[in-house]
Amino acid sequence: YNKPVKTGVFIFDLNNNYIILVGGQAKTAKYFNVKLSEVVRHIRNKTIFLNKYYLKVRSYLSLAMTSSFSHTRCSLSTWYIIF
């Protein structure tokens, strides 16, 4: 994991509930008004970000986690993507 992620950073709350998909590490840093290195550190270490969130990228999402998205009651209109 040394390449920057440009396709999307998934944001989850502390209960692992999906919140939003942001269009990459740099855009995630801008969205939260933090340094890029802080976003990268929390993704890499899988630690709590800003005392509220987990940041995950597709490579860290397990098949079970990905398949659980399709079983949620969220409609596509409730999935927010920021580019």
Rounded Cα–Cα distance for residues 4 and 18 (Å) = 22
pLDDT at residue 49, as a whole number: 97
Strand-strand pairing, 9-13 and 18-22: antiparallel
pLDDT at residue 24, as a whole number: 87
- Please name the residue that has the structure tokens 């580019």: 83
pLDDT at residue 43, as a whole number: 92
pLDDT at residue 23, as a whole number: 85
Q: What is the mean pLDDT of each run of 10 residues along the chain (83 residues)?
A: 69 94 91 95 94 85 45 39 43
